Structure 1
Amino acid sequence: MTRIYVGPTALYSLGQVGELSLLDAFDGDIVIPEPVVDDVQVEPTATNLAEYREGGVDTAVDEDHIEQAEALLGEKDLGAAVTVLAGVLAHRDSADRTAVAVVSEDRTVRRMAQGLGAEVTSSFGVVVRAAIEDKYLKPTQAKRIVRRIDQHGTHLTGELRERAVGEVA
């Protein structure tokens, strides 16, 4: 079963517009390590995350891989990025690239996770996947969600926004 680690940037993007439930479009276990949860202090994201977690989200930290993740990132604290990458290190499988995935807008986390063999996407990728997988989320609704996320701080260039909206169609 795929483990999908979600970083604070993606939680912020989806949580600001009340769309954290779109993470459920993934076929796997959603993991939001406790330090990632602690990083999400902005409202309404914090409230939306608390409600989403009531559905049973794994918040465990893969302690055995923290030091290795810190060494890779050059950080010496148990921050959100370190815990996400520790999860990737713990669950990656060179024979199965779909064993672990990361949802994040953080470029460093994305590059590192991809280099370690994880599938990587962003909050926009979550919306696109939900539109493709969920017969109840119409492309027009997905386009509105992408635009709302764009208006709440994760600003896209015009080209990227049109690409994200185009992929939904």
Structure 2
Amino acid sequence: MTGVFLDATTLISLGSIDELELFRDFSGELIVLPAVKSEVGTEPARTNLQRFIETHDIQEEGLEYAQQVPRAMSVLEESARNGDVEIIAAVLAYRAEDRPVGVVSDDRRVRTTADAFGATVTGTIGVVVRGVEAGISKDDGLDIVERIDARGLHMTGELRDKAESLIQEAAEEI
């Protein structure tokens, strides 16, 4: 089964507008690592994340990736263990066992590194597009993008146009 690691960037973006349910459209095991969870400190994202974890089968612990932490720290040029390091360490551990792995993050460095190590990567907009592909309406998808933009992601005009285009394409394919 694919492990899908959720990063704080997307948890905060979607948690701030109470849209974490969109993650349920992913196939695979959703995983929120302890260091990532601790980085979600803003409200209402923190409370919404806690509720999401409690009401769904979200993996939080018991994963073996500690042996990959030094390599992840080196690759990311980090001097301390944090959520980014743990996600990359987990990706390295999964790939070392030839297991499929995904990462959901808006952090360019995490996305680029995870992709380079063979993870499937997407971000907040990809989560919304997947939601449209799974059946939410195009208008609801566009509304979610607008609410994300208003609550803190603050998209560039180019990203907003791309999001709208991807949502439109996803709606047409249904």
- TM-score, length-scaled by structure 1: 0.92
Corresponding residue of 2:111 = 110
Q: State the shift of 1:45 in Å.
A: 0.2
Q: State the shift of 1:95 in Å.
A: 7.2
Deviations 1:17-71 (A, max 9, x none): 1001101111111111000001111000000000000122111352121111111
Aligned pairs for 1:90-109 within 5 A: 90-92=93-95, 99-109=100-110
Q: Is the deviation greater in 142-151 or in 154-163?
A: 154-163
Are 1:93 and 1:117, in contact at CA under 8 Å, matched by a contact in 2? Answer: no
Corresponding residue of 2:6 = 6
Corresponding residue of 1:159 = 158
Q: Is the deviation greater in 86-95 or in 49-58?
A: 86-95
Are 1:94 and 1:117, in contact at CA under 8 Å, matched by a contact in 2? Answer: no
The runs of 5 or more residues in structure 1 that have no matched partner are none
Q: Is 2:130 the partner of 1:129?
A: yes
Corresponding residue of 2:141 = 142
Q: Is the deviation greater in 151-160 or in 111-120?
A: 151-160
Q: Is 2:23 the partner of 1:23?
A: yes
Q: State the shift of 1:139 in Å.
A: 1.1
Deviations 1:60-89 (A, max 9, x none): 352121111111112132200001101110
The runs of 5 or more residues in structure 2 that have no matched partner are 169-174
Q: Secondary structure at the match of 1:153?
A: helix
Distance 2:84 2:26 in 1: 21
Corresponding residue of 1:40 = 40
Aligned counterpart for 1:67 among listed residues 58, 70, 73: 70
Aligned pairs for 1:46-85 within 5 A: 46-54=46-54, 55-60=56-61, 62-85=65-88
Cα RMSD after superposing both structures: 1.6
Change (3 A) 1:164 1:94: farther
- Residues paired across the two proteins, number: 165
Letter in 2 for 1:80: G
Distance 2:106 2:158 in 1: 17
- Over 6 Å off, 4+ runs: 93-96
- TM-score, length-scaled by structure 2: 0.89
